[in-house]
Structure 1
Amino acid sequence: MKKLYRSRKDSKLFGLCGGLAELLNVDSTLLRVVFLVTAFFTEGTLIPIYFIACLVIPKEPAFEPFYDPAYGYSSGARSTGRSPAYPRPQQESPLASTPDPQPNIDEMMRDVEKKALQKEIEQLRAKLAQLEKGDKEL
């Protein structure tokens, strides 16, 4: 079930009619016209109700995380029925059992980090040796 929010993308004043139109799945312009006609015939009693509703109803979140049990949370997809940006696996591919010719990215990253740490240790040792020489000369 969808929640009622004030719309971020279809907002003329506060986004209330846009959010209500999205919830009811109707055109927001039609809903605005109905609101104005109703406000005219009720002698303006609908206008304070509109402002109170704007204070009570929260603004639409910037994004809603989409949870797919196969992939986990995705921060970009919204829960409006659209599928996530990545395809869902249908079945095991016969090519999936063959090993990937490219090396594992995790092993490559560990190797790069190890080399960077070794280089940093060598630089620190050189600085320490310079400081020790400076202390001996004093």
Structure 2
Amino acid sequence: MSEKRGLSLEDKREKMLQIFYESQDFFLLKELEKLGPRKGVITQSVKDVVESLVDDDLVSKDKIRTSVYFWSLPSCAGNQLRNETDEREEALTELKAIEQKYNMLKDEMGQYVDNDPAAFEAMKEAIEVAHAAPTDGQITFSF
């Protein structure tokens, strides 16, 4: 008595991409909503899945007059993924350089902690409190 479970979002995305790659054609949303169920993607989720693919630049979208067309070619998706990889590598290199600079500056700040004006003022106030304390010669402890 197992329940039939639907496809995960990632599975739906793969199935919709297959539609684009197999036909290498342009589609209206209505056409995709008809083709989706043939691949196991229910009609109600086709729009959300296609929009997520558009958001990730795996599917292109363009409005011509009153119609919105969707398309994706295997070469375009491959190029997009390669471009994202290059951008990611550049970003990681930049991040590493920034982290090194941050750690260097943090170490340098540690060298100057003894000359911190706020710490100096706190010590000065502590000394004044100590001098103002009563000195009757007796030390009392409370437990």
Q: Highest CA radius of gyration, 1 or 2?
A: 2
Q: Which has the higher strand share?
A: 2
- Answer 1 or 2: higher relative contact order, Cα 8 Å, separation at least 6: 2
Name the one with the larger helix percent.
2
